[in-house]
Structures are given as structure tokens and as C-alpha cells.
Amino acid sequence: MNLDYAKNSIEEVPFGQYLEQFQALDPKAAAVRTGIPYDAERKCFTMRMLQRTYEISWPECKVTCLDKTEGVFAIMEDAVDAKIFAIRYLLNGVQSDSTGKFLTYRELPSGDLYFQQFQGRCLMRLAYGFGFKLDKFAEIMDRLGAKKLSYGDVSYEVEFINGHFVRFILWAGDDEFPPSSQILFSDNFPLSFETYDLAVVGDISITTLKKMQ
């Protein structure tokens, strides 16, 4: 089955359309549904993405990082896809807890259908971006405040967006074997996002790591 991966991506819808939906949102109802705090007096949501806390004003959608530190890229302030992902959670997401289980992309609903594109877009990009410099990857993850794990040659867990966690695992490359990687998603992601949207999780995360080199 030949699927047009790009046409299913959240990036195919212009930011302006998402902004219109965000502005039409009932912010108090969205806060109850998603568990994202909303300050009605100041008219802003408080949301976490990649270990950083952001305020998102409503209805303007002005994004401000509240805990910006030197050497850490606050991606939601600068990247349109990160803003869209946050808006989509406020529009469609539901508050949920992971059972503690993490899923490969193939294990997600219809993951097999989109795996080839996810592999090239995320897994290979991660592997060849950092598979020959594991120490740099670890230094960046430590700076970000990620949780160190014991899988592969180096691995870390980050909170991508409130209560939704991602694990990044790397195996080093050498003269004989290419580097490889794995990205795992906490099992509550499918309750709020489509499987093909999760490539954006990889994109946003890897872009952040590269910006921090």
C-alpha cells in the first residue's frame, strides 16, 4: 500500500489555520480536557515541551519560555512545527497517564504503514547525526535535563509534552558497522495524536539536539 506520508503530516496545514482554531477554542474547557493549566486572569496556558516550560497566550498564541537557560534551545519559541504540535494538543488532546510501557513506531496504530518514512526521517537522522559522537549526544541530553537510561550504548528519556515521554537510544558506528538508533514513545501518545504525527516528535527533538551542538 503506497501512502503519501507528507499529505498526512500536521505540517501540511498552514499555521494560520491552526491559529484560527486556537483562537476559537474555549480555553477553560481545553484546560479541563488536557490538564494543561490555564490562567484565566492572565489569559495564558502553561505547557512543557522537551524539558522546558512555556507560556502560550490566548488568543494571540504568543509563546514565551519561562526557564530558558544558556546552551538550551527553546524550540517552541522559534519553530512553527513545535507551536503547531502544542496547539494540536490543546485542540484534540486528552489528559492521560502512561502505563509505563514504551512502544516502537511499528507498535503504534498503523505504524507499519508509515515506518519506512519514519525510519528515514527520524531514526537515520538521529543515528547519523550522533552515532559517531555519543559523548556529545550525552552532554547535550544532560544539559537538557533528560533522564539517563541504560539501553544501547547511550540512551535518555525526555518529557516531550506534558505527561508524554520519549526514549532515544543510540548504538555507536565504527569502521565496520553503521550507527543505529531507536525512538520509543510512551503508550499514552495514541490517545491524543495520530501515528503519522509522531514523526514530528522526532523532528522537533532532533532539531533541538542539533541546535544545541
Q: What is the CATH number of the domain that holds 195?
A: 3.30.310
* pTM of this structure: 0.93
Sign of the dihedral through C-alpha 144, 145, 146, 150:
positive
* pLDDT tens-digit map of 95-126: 999 999 999 999 999 999 999 999 999 999 99
Would you give per-residue pLDDT tens digits along the chain (213 residues)? 333 444 445 656 789 999 999 999 999 999 999 999 999 999 999 999 999 999 999 999 999 999 999 999 999 999 999 999 999 999 999 999 999 999 999 999 999 999 999 999 999 999 999 999 999 999 999 999 999 999 999 999 999 999 999 999 999 988 888 999 999 999 999 999 999 889 999 999 999 999 999
Kindly report the backbone phi and psi dihedral angles of residue 212, in degrees, each rounded to the nearest multiple of 5, phi listed first. -95, 5
Q: Are 170 and 130 spatial neighbours (Cβ–Cβ below 8 Å)?
A: yes
Domain co-membership, 139 together with 73 = no
Interacting residues of 173 by C-beta distance below 8 A, sequence separation 6+: 127, 131, 132, 179, 180
The total number of structural domains in the chain stands at 2
Domain co-membership, 106 together with 193 = yes
Question: What pLDDT, on a 0 to 100 scale, did the predictor assign at position 6?
Answer: 45
Question: What pLDDT, on a 0 to 100 scale, did the predictor assign at position 147?
Answer: 98
97 falls within a domain: no
Residue at which a domain ends, from 66, 92, 118: 92
- For 45, the domain range is 5-92
10 falls within a domain: yes
Residue at which a domain ends, from 47, 66, 92: 92
Domain co-membership, 81 together with 113 = no
